[in-house]
Structure 1
């Protein structure tokens, strides 16, 4: 189906895009529609074009209340005439009852002051909008209650329209995108070239939800989270009560998400977040309840910490030992080992004793540069004509992985892609993400045994430029940086990095060193993690450094000092050939 560009002669481009999405949904998700959604899909296409256009304009603007006078579009004409069929269909309400909260964003300061005068509210001669609103709220508190627009402004020639179809459209958006953080503007942004997405073939079975019950469960999870957020913002917030209510809601939802691994993961994520909130609130019993039946990968370790908070030391020690003996991932192994050392009343850290050593060197700079990050200051100091230095942090190695493994990442597997605006596969965080694509990933990594990998990476760098990717940050790449990396990074090191990324693709994307220094004539490199005064290595950084050191890769931790905080004995320059 052809796309209609915003600068095309067709002023109804936005309507064409929405109708394209609606047709997509009708073709692939008709069995998920409830009665209201079915009626909407059937009736919308029969509406006058101007009415359909007004509907989409309102859908794409912040609402849900709109003054008719502010819905002026040349291609639509009279908004009231265009709205009439929509009102008849009950998708718009042309006489909504308005609380003062809903009224305030719709009116000007002059209108507010006129309203105050009509209600007999005395104002200062130069009263601000905020002061006028405060006086109206005080008056409204004495005589509360929603009123129609013309009850507020009897002489106004204007009217207010309520976009009553908002909940229905939200469900349609959820069915299309599989989430609620993307909206219909994706069409326009894609057509304008602001965002580009990989084209992945998928059939009619490729969609976010399999059953209507999954949609309802998703929205119920959203409501559960929003309920806690609203409670947290209330003046009389009681953390224990709000957390207990959230857990009760999650317990009730648990049976509804068990059949859907994706929804179950969302449920576990919210349950884990609730446990963290309970810990912050000093409610370890509630935290234990949250973590106990939670499948979130970090919840097992949090149980150890909560057992400590509950003074159940022996149980905490036993669980920490269990985690250390069979960790789910590197992070859990690191945390469990550290906890065992602490619980055993010793300063020893088992993981540190067994970890390989990496170079740690100090660099004293003349002065703390104003407005310059410490990483950039170090980069400038280290760079030389024969040894360029780049700030890459988590971009370069991830990008090389993403470019080489592009066919595996965008393999059209069931449950991976279900609409044209996906940055990456929907199951990227799933435990079986790599296992489902094992053959594809191995085929990509096998290219590292020959020079084929260089051609593949460079070709995709050209062909896929700008396409959204969870691993490739295009703005951080350049022709020179890519050429140096391919010349100076040994293929054996690339394979080792990529294999670690594949262990936990999302978790291991971060923690990589800040800088890379190349010696192109010698075809070698050095990775450098920069730490400013008072800064310490994070756990994920330690894991990457230890991994690189284990495999004999050149990695250095560079501790930057300013003269006023440096040790009197002086500092040495970073390692590496001059």
Structure 2
């Protein structure tokens, strides 16, 4: 997919723009190879620079020269020569069978097997050919050059040796490794649009070279843990516990290096929590306890309660569950801890923390089968009328209203929030102090709800910011009609209550909102409806939103949908399931 541009070197221009950006903002973080690259890349011939970026953006690291044919570059071998001299490409790499396999065709594998005297089935698949070659080299062959594998081939193989260097540059630019240089192309094409946020030196993801090394070390730890977990899932290997212990030892060593960078500390705690979960799945509560004990992840404190149960330390588990229920970090933790406390205390009495205001429940018996429709859409079609249209909104509408009104707060240029021009939202969205750092900005936004200013702000941003990435606004789910109905029918007081709950836990409370909204535009009122089909249950986050709305007198209900062939017994069972905590 190419942008509509007359410049065939658009990709090179984008990479050089990123390189100049890095040189201006992050030069103090470069090591010697990165400094040499930043200084020397611009002096190479354009064809060489273009070939470098083409290889960077393709899956490698090995490439056959014949497959690097680009009209604007010309001869790939000639273009590669300066890159070989700079040692960013190796033009004579040694290849083992694993490196060779993705480079060769089935016909070439057949020819190689014939030359080695390996008998193959007449219609052998590529996989069978590779297996036969692997069996032939029971002891893996010494790596050899391409022309040693295929002496008669006119082709050659290039190894992109600059990949690790470019990975570090990409990390410095984006502050993560899940985004890549294609972001420039997608932005140029208009596939994604991003809010323009002022960036200064304090906006960098990394302030010290050691931070980059720490990030990569955490990444390596996570990769090792994931590989061990996958191996345990596939063949029941018992090495998972050892891998978890190794991960925890590495995290203990890395912990001091994360203390000065809250963002890295959060990544450290997230990995430590993942190690604890893996230990629980592996049936090692002692190891899980070690993982959770010194972990700042918001879910780790409650996991300690469960591990204490597994260790048969029930009195300690009850004491911790009680402490959490009385002073929870968030609603979800409080709900879980109160439920566990009741179970541990062997009482059926609901604690104050789990008491839920009642919300209305109704039944809907569909006249005809939904013909492949989701239950929510079938219910919407059944309920909607010309006087009271019904929309499927789930987690989109209220979040979007919040995101549009609070846009200035969400995209405030605070240190550690925005690292580069391609961010969907602030990097510290998951941080415990996310709202506190922007308290004055959020307060100013919500103050508009006391006047009619909020309507103008929301409508103006709906027009001005349309399509710009946001963690709260799902643009395809919005329309001018839906927005106008919401602003006409949602009281400002209810908007404030919803937004205040979102601000308590901006990430967790984005989900669990009711499926449908029904508007009575001539009466200026609405109803939120959670739809449940036969046998479906309310999730905990849905219960919390329903309870919150009911507590504040908002029109909210649960709709139990019954299929044409279901009986009252099934509906009663579904109703009971909704009541069950």
User: Which TM-score band applies after superposition, normalised by the shorter structure?
Assistant: over 0.9
1:366 Cα offset (Å): 3.5
SS, match of residue 421 in structure 1 = coil
Aligned-residue offset at 1:557: 1.0
More moved, 158-167 vs 431-440: 431-440
* Shift in alpha-carbon separation, 1:348–1:141, aligned structure 2, 3 A: farther
- Spell out the pairing of 1:176-255 with structure 2 (5 A cutoff): 176-234=173-231, 235=235, 236=237, 238-255=239-256
Find the aligned partners of 2:354 and 2:300 in 1 and give their Cα distance. Answer: 26
- Aligned-partner Cα distance in 2 for 1:491–1:278: 47
Aligned pairs, number:
568
Matched, 1:139 2:136: yes
Deviations 1:75-129 (A, max 9, x none): 1000000001101111011111112111111111111111111111101111121
CA contact (8 A) 1:271 1:294 kept: yes
Shift of 1:383: 1.1
8 Å CA contact 1:410–1:425 kept in 2: the answer is yes
Q: How does 1:403-418 map to 2 (within 5 A)?
A: 403-418=404-419
1:86 aligns to what SS in structure 2? helix
Asked whether the equivalents of residues 516 and 526 of structure 1 are also in contact (C-alpha less than 8 Å), the reply is: yes
Aligned twin of 1:81: 78
Change (3 A) 1:342 1:193: same
Do 1:231 and 1:237's aligned partners in 2 also have CA atoms closer than 8 Å? no
Partner of 1:525: 526
Give the SS at the match of 1:162.
strand
Q: C-alpha offsets along residues 434-467 of structure 1, whole Å, 9 cap, x if unaligned?
A: 1111111111111111111111111110110000
| CA distance in 2: counterparts of 1:516 and 1:419, whole angstroms | 37
Q: Secondary structure at the match of 2:203?
A: coil
Contact 1:334 1:351 in 2 (8 A): no
Retained in 1: the 8 A contact 2:339–2:354?
no
Q: Which residue of 2 aligns with 1:508?
A: 509
Indicate the larger mover: 242-251 or 85-94. Answer: 242-251
Residues 255 and 96 of structure 1, relative CA distance in 2, 3 Å threshold = same
Match of 2:578 in 1: none
Partner of 1:119: 116
Partners of 1:568 and 1:427 in 2: CA distance: 49
2:358/2:547 contact within 8 Å kept: yes
Q: What does 1:385-464 correspond to in 2, within 5 Å?
A: 385-464=386-465
Tell me the secondary structure at the aligned position of residue 205 of structure 1. Answer: helix
Say yes or no: does 1:95 pair with 2:96. no
2:274 maps to 273
Output the CA distance in 2 between the equivalents of 1:280 and 1:326.
28
CA distance in 2, matches of 1:42, 1:62: 26
Q: Residue by residue, what CA displacement relative to the aligned partner does 1:234-293 show, whole Å, maximum 9, x if unpaired?
A: 354522112111111111111111111110000000110111111111111111010000
- 1:259-338 equivalences under 5 Å are 259-338=260-339
Q: Deviations over 1:400-452 (max 9, x none)?
A: 00001111111111111121001011111111111111111111111111111
Q: 1:330 to 1:510 in 2, by over 3 A?
A: same
Alpha-carbon offset, residue 37 of structure 1: 0.5
Provide runs of 4+ in structure 1 moved above 6 Å.
none
2:50 alignment partner in structure 1: 53
SS of residue matched to 1:518? strand
Q: 1: CA distance between counterparts of 2:240 and 2:267?
A: 22
Match of 2:500 in 1: 499
Tell whether 2:550 aligns with 1:545.
Answer: no
Q: Once the 2 structures are TM-superposed, how far is the Cα of residue 353 of structure 1 from its aligned partner?
A: 6.2
Q: Distance in 2 between matches of 1:164 and 1:450?
A: 61
The Cα of 1:367 is off from its aligned counterpart by: 4.9
Contact 1:228–1:246 (CA under 8 A) maintained in structure 2? yes
Q: In structure 1, what is the Cα distance between the partners aligned to 2:31 and 2:569? A: 74
CA distance in 2, matches of 1:223, 1:342: 40
Of 6, 10, 19 in structure 2, the residue corresponding to residue 9 of structure 1 is: 6
Alignment match, 2:59: 62
8 Å contact from structure 1 (residues 338, 351) kept in 2: no
DSSP-derived class of the 2:559 partner:
strand
> Which region of structure 1 is more displaced relative to structure 2, 371-380 or 139-148?
139-148
SS in 2 for 1:361: strand
Aligned in 2, Cα 1:531/1:352: closer, same or farther, shift over 3 Å? farther
Query: Would you say the 8 A contact 1:28–1:205 is kept in 2?
Result: no
Q: Secondary structure at the match of 2:558?
A: strand
Q: Normalization by structure 1: what TM-score?
A: 0.96
Cα displacement (A) at 1:161: 0.7
CA distance in 2, matches of 1:534, 1:351: 28
The change in CA–CA distance for 1:140 and 1:471 in structure 2 (over 3 A counts) is same
Q: Distance in 1 between matches of 2:548 and 2:348?
A: 23
Q: Given the alignment of the two structures, is residue 375 of structure 1 paired with residue 372 of structure 2, yes or no?
A: no
Q: Taking structure 1 as reference, are residues 280 and 204 closer, same or farther at Cα in structure 2, changes over 3 Å only?
A: same
Q: Provide TM-score, normalisation by structure 2.
A: 0.95
RMSD: 1.6
